[in-house]
C-alpha cells in the first residue's frame, strides 16, 4: 500500500489528473454549452502548460517555481480563460 500512496503523492500524477479534468471539461463545454465548438489550438493550451511544467521539473526539480500546486492552478486558470474567451 505504501507504493500506491507514493505514486498518488507524485506531482506528475497531480498534473496529469488536472490536465485530464481540464480536457474533459473543455470537451463537454465545447460540445454541450457553447454555440460553436472550441478550436484545436485553444484546446491545446492547458496540455501545453503541463508540458512546460514537465520540462522545468526535469531540469530543476526542487526550484520554487516547480511547485505542483502552482501549475495545477495554472492549468485550471488556462481552462477557464479558454472557455471564457469563447463565451464572449
Task: Give strand ranges (E) for 1-88.
Answer: none
In this prediction, residues 62-66 reach a mean pLDDT of 88
In this prediction, residues 56-82 reach a mean pLDDT of 93
Domain encompassing residue 55: 2-87
Residue 1 banded pLDDT, cuts 50, 70, 90: low
Running DSSP on this structure, what letter comes out for residue 61? T
Q: How many domains does the chain have?
A: 1
Query: Residue for cell digits 480563460?
Result: 81
Complete DSSP assignment for 47-77: HHHHHHHHHHHHH-TT-GGG-HHHHHHHHHH
Coil, helix or strand for 1?
Answer: coil
| 6-59 pLDDT, tens digit each | 888 888 999 999 999 999 999 999 999 999 999 999 999 999 999 999 999 999
Q: Is the pLDDT of residue 4 over 90?
A: no
Residue 68 banded pLDDT, cuts 50, 70, 90: very high
Amino acid at each position: 500500500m505504501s507504493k500506491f500512496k507514493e505514486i498518488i503523492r507524485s506531482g506528475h500524477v497531480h498534473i496529469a489528473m488536472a490536465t485530464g479534468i481540464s480536457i474533459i471539461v473543455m470537451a463537454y463545454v465545447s460540445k454541450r454549452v457553447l454555440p460553436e465548438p472550441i478550436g484545436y489550438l485553444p484546446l491545446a493550451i492547458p496540455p501545453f502548460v503541463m508540458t512546460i511544467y514537465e520540462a522545468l521539473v526535469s531540469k530543476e526539480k526542487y526550484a520554487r517555481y516547480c511547485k505542483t500546486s502552482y501549475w495545477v492552478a495554472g492549468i485550471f486558470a488556462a481552462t477557464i480563460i479558454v472557455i471564457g474567451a469563447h463565451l464572449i
